[in-house]
Amino acid sequence: MKAHIALLPGDGIGPEVTAEAVRCLKAVGARYGHEWRLDEAPVGAIAMDATGMPLPPATLALAKTADAILFGAIGAPRYSDPALKVRPEQGILQLRQELGLFANLRPVVCFEAVLDASPLKPELLRGVDIMVIRELTGGIYFGAKTRTATEASDLCVYTVTEVERIVRLGARLARQRRNRLTSVDKANVLETSRLWRSVVLRVMKDEFPDVVLEHMYVDAAAMHLLRRPSDFDVVITENMFGDILTDEASMLPGSLGLCASASLGSGTRGLYEPIHGSAPDIAGRGIANPYAAILSAALLLRHSLALETEARALEAAVVAALDAGVRTADLKPAGRPASTHEAGAAVLARLR
């Protein structure tokens, strides 16, 4: 197979962890006889330094022509002033809009070898395997905004079409897993949530009657993610609720450095990135955890390139590295922490 992959390493630790994911992708290609065309472009703060824009036209053009995008992280302290009109983070929002990426998939898997790295009790974590699907292009983040000296407002808007496509994606994935779907809303308070719930009920009844459906208010979901996380299978929710719940859920495996993500649209092109951010405080020190970036590369193989065997092999290599005790500093190693490069090398050794 031949595929064109855009590499957008971005800022902070983004280039470091992306480099390890690229090494793994190249190894997968060599092992299974695939040919990757890998083209790199700037995004985020590094792009602003050069062009004044977080998403330069050339970077967007590359993303639009690639089969998939492997993304690192964006953000830098020099652009942290909230008064700035242009910020690095706008680059990822624009990419999602331009590419029509409306669904963010965040797998939450608790790996047996590192259960002790989580703040929760190990008995709560065994068997946890959740797929959270967050709506990406609607809701309060994209609604009309106003601000005066005395008040501010953010409009939350959802359409039937936006909800329908998330429900269908979630239900299809649930059929491939444990056949359970949890829809998270705040229908006792918000009109957008009442619309959300009514659409979920209709689509599930008409198209997916075989999938077990549960509705849950967002506050209850936040509690039950910590109280009984193994009961969840596929979770769908709107943009802001998903943003908050997925960061909470990321603590179940014990580190943001174990959490991958995929942003998908109606076609096969997707954007794949670790959820940990740019972490400028540790950038350049060679201690960042690359596992999430490597697991994001596995999602790229699965969802954009339809290479399930290769995706499973890469995921298995990560598990084997963790089982062998190769832990970066964030995973609370008993001895010397593995460096970013050493962790990547451990995955490569088990992949080959």
Is 81 labeled as catalytic in the residue annotation? no
Is 39 labeled as catalytic in the residue annotation? no
Is 158 labeled as catalytic in the residue annotation? no
The pLDDT assigned to 352 comes to 76
Confidence of residue 82 (pLDDT cuts 50, 70, 90): confident
Give the mean pLDDT of 16-34.
98
Q: Look up residue 234 and give its two tokens.
A: 């596929």
Closest CA to 41 of 20, 70, 67, 76: 70
For the chain, the domains span 1-105+258-352, 129-251
CATH architecture of 1-105+258-352: 3-Layer(aba) Sandwich (3.40)
Burial 131-158 (b: 16+ CB within 10 A, else e): bbbbbbbbbbebeeeeeeeeeeeeebeb
Neighbouring C-beta atoms of residue 84, cutoff 10 Å: 11
Instruction: Answer yes or no: is pLDDT of 196 > 80.
Output: yes
Confidence of residue 264 (pLDDT cuts 50, 70, 90): very high
The pLDDT assigned to 151 comes to 97
Q: Look up residue 314 and give its two tokens.
A: 């890469």
Confidence of residue 85 (pLDDT cuts 50, 70, 90): confident
Is 243 labeled as catalytic in the residue annotation? yes
Q: Catalytic one among 67, 186, 272, 330?
A: 186
Tell me what percent of the chain is helix, strand and coil, each rounded to the nearest 5: 45, 20, 35
Give the mean pLDDT of 282-286.
96
How do residues 26-75 score in pLDDT, each as one tens digit? 999 999 999 999 999 999 999 999 999 999 999 999 999 999 999 999 99
How do residues 206-239 score in pLDDT, each as one tens digit? 999 999 999 999 999 999 999 999 999 999 999 9
Q: Look up residue 163 and give its two tokens.
A: 């909800």
Q: Under DSSP, is residue 155 helix (H, G, I), strand (E, B) or coil?
A: coil
Q: What is the CATH number of domain 129-251?
A: 3.40.50.2300
Are the folds of 1-105+258-352 and 129-251 the same?
no
Q: Catalytic one among 39, 210, 219, 323?
A: 219
Is 186 labeled as catalytic in the residue annotation? yes
Q: Catalytic one among 141, 154, 217, 231?
A: 141
**Pairing between β-strand 2-10 and β-strand 35-40 as defined by DSSP bridges:** parallel
Q: Look up residue 221 and give its two tokens.
A: 């979901």
Are the C-beta atoms of 143 and 154 separated by less than 8 Å? Answer: yes
In angstroms, the CA 303 to CA 146 distance is 38
Q: What is the 3-state secondary structure (H, E, C) of 218-256?
A: HHHHHHHHHHCHHHCCEEEECHHHHHHHHHHHCCCCCCH
Instruction: State the chain's mean pLDDT as an integer.
Output: 96
